[in-house]
Amino acid sequence: MKYFLKALAIIILIFTIFVLHIGVANTLPYPFNNINVIFLILAWQIFFNNRPRAIWYMLPLAFLMELFTSAPFGINSISLFVSLISTKWLLDNLFTNRSVYIVFLSSAVSLAIYRLVFITLIYFINFFFYHVKIGVSKFFLDVGVEILFTSILMTGFYFIHFFFIKKFNPKYLSDRHI
């Protein structure tokens, strides 16, 4: 029964994240509708909880995301997977300090990798199989806005986590011998 409840909680969490992503993309005005909620929450799990389990949560979220996109099937999944793996590698090997700058920079670099893999796969498919129309000038503007706003939101979550949640945690206070 314990495993069933845990699996049910994970399924509800995945659907909540997906509905939140669709809601942000379809209801907010222009600059804010480019916030990538799925990447934001999965990267949050990797940044602050150091859980590689977020990579496994990516699979059903990417499948649901594939159902609502006009890109060929699998491109978003591959891009998100490569981006989360590179995020984990960057945080483990290159950006080891968890400061404000590192949170902003690593989320911006990871989103840039996500969109670079995405556009590379689109061009690869266009070269060999069929043509997917991409408005390049609008695409790069949207990518820049997505990287900026998602990274700013990730940095804001870092401030909330570090200055409020971590300071009121009793374990944090007991570690300082107060």
- Which tens digit of pLDDT belongs to each residue from 125-135? 888 887 777 77
Share of the chain above pLDDT 90, in %: 52
pLDDT at 163 over 50: yes
Average pLDDT, the chain: 86
Cβ 87 vs Cβ 110: under 8 Å: yes
- In this predicted structure, the answer to whether residue 71 has a pLDDT above a threshold of 60 is yes
Rounded to 10°, the helix 37-48/100-128 angle is 130
What is the SS3 assignment for 115-175? Answer: HHHHHHHHHHHHHHCCCCCCCHHHHHHHHHHHHHHHHHHHHHHHHHHHHHHCCCCHHHHHH
Percent of the chain past pLDDT 70, that is, above it, reads 92
Q: Output the pTM of the full model.
A: 0.84
Residue 12 has pLDDT above 90, yes or no: yes
Q: What is the pLDDT of residue 176?
A: 46
Is residue 99 very low, low, confident or very high in pLDDT (cuts 50, 70, 90)?
confident
Domain ranges of the chain: 2-175
- Tens of pLDDT, residue by residue over 114-123, are 999 999 998 8
pLDDT of 178 over the 80 cut: no
Place of tokens 């389990």: 53
- At residue 156, the pLDDT reads 93
Distance between CA 148 and CA 112 in Å, rounded? Answer: 10
Least confident of 23-27, 74-78, 132-136, 166-170: 166-170
